[in-house]
Amino acid sequence: MSDTTQNGSVLAADGTPLKRSLARALRRQKIRALLLIAPLLLFVMLTFIMPIGDMLFRSVENDIVSKTLPRTVVALRDWDANSGEAPGEEVFTALAADLQIAAEAKLHTRVGSRLNYETPGISSLFRKAGRKVKKWDVENDGPFKEQFLKIHKGWGDPDVWRTIQTYSPKFTNGYFLNAADLQKGADGPEWRPEDEQIYWLLFKRTMFMSMVITISCIVLAYPVAWILANLPARSANLLMILVLLPFWTSLLVRTSAWKVMLQQQGVINETLVWLGLVADDARLVMINNQFGTIVAMTHILLPFMILPMYSVMQTIKPTYLRAAKSLGATNWTAFWRVYFPQSIPGIGAGSILVFILSIGYYITPELVGGTKGVFISNRIAFHISSSLNWGLAAALGAILLAVVLVLYWAYDKIVGIDNVKLG
């Protein structure tokens, strides 16, 4: 053969061994594919992955104390937090020097409010001290301990100093402890007082309500998906519009519709009163509570359950059911033993999707949830825009993200990301 050399290896047209030539072609193909993907990957990295990374970083970042009070942090390193006494003069001298610089740059209030998240009351200590320290001569005005105690006797409280010492490292797990209703005590993490434990309750409520929403979606979606999959194509397409129209309608439109319908002076209450089922002075309270959130979110997420179920049920042949019945199964047995097991993949896909979407929901609970029906995401938004405790918001977000990623992974295993279908 002409393309075989003496040593027996097959050659390509240009004389290189075929094996190497093929490998090169494959490599070029891979590079071309990666080059096509690269711009998007970079874009997503910059606009999405890095922000998420930034959030995760912020949930442990804590350099404000060591940056604003560098000398104090060093001086405080040797102080024994369990001694029950405030630290000695050298720490106060360092604090005076640090505070003077910080007060010039107006940074002392920031450190104060950061530490205030951990021990309430510190914020005012720093504010008051900052004002006075500005006028001191740090070199010669010592000793400072007495002067600080004169400004506020809180400076003599070992708890305050323990907080400063605990939060002087550059990184902290304090936000995460806080997000789990724990706090740093004298010896390791301890539970917060009973009346301050709100996040655990919120996580439980978010989980519970997402579960209720998922279950009610399954119950409502199953018959609809079944009838869509079993009707003749023409009528099924018509009915499909009724499913897709809400799916395509703006989320806010649907939320406002539910607000209009569920209000005390709203459409449902008016109808019930007109029918005489409910007395005029005993109108049902259906909004600003858990009920409102569950109803509105079930409606909003229902299409996400119907569509995957429908696509699975379409593939189940109706002959299986008929065969089961002709072999003597009752209606129920035929459904439960033959049809239902085949439809489980659809239920699984829809449930995970609905659950993922609902645990992170913000808009609908915010608008129809009142105080009893809010989710963890509303608390995150509150910490970002109102209380400005960004670290805590980031820690809560990181926990929520972890839950979602586990579910996402499960979804990928069960359904496969490639099999996500739209509309």
Residues 39-98 that bind another protein (CB under 8 A): 39-41, 43-44, 47-55, 58
Q: Which of 10, 22, 186, 245 binds another protein (CB under 8 A)?
A: 245
Structure tokens at 314: 């379409």
Residues 164-183 that bind another protein (CB under 8 A): none
Residue with smaller CB distance to another protein, 130 or 303:
303
Residue with smaller CB distance to another protein, 69 or 368:
368
Least Å from the CB of residue 277 to another protein: 6
Least Å from the CB of residue 21 to another protein: 16
Structure tokens at 363: 């808009």
- Least Cα distance to 295 among 334, 325, 254, 328 occurs for 254
Q: Mark 303-332 with x for binding to another protein (rule: CB under 8 A) and - for no binding.
A: x---------------------------x-
Residue with smaller CB distance to another protein, 341 or 416:
416
Residues 356-395 that bind another protein (CB under 8 A): 356-357, 359-363, 366-367, 377, 380-381, 384-385, 390, 393-394
Residues 254-283 that bind another protein (CB under 8 A): 254-261, 263, 265-267, 270, 274-277
Is 406 one of the binding residues for another protein (CB under 8 A)?
no
CA 48 to chain centre: 15
Least Å from the CB of residue 110 to another protein: 15
Residues 285-304 that bind another protein (CB under 8 A): 299, 302-303
Interface size with another protein, residues (CB under 8 A): 92
CA 150, 151, 157, 162 dihedral sign is negative
Residue with smaller CB distance to another protein, 105 or 275:
275
Is 18 one of the binding residues for another protein (CB under 8 A)?
no
Q: Mark 202-221 with x for binding to another protein (rule: CB under 8 A) and - for no binding.
A: ------------------x-
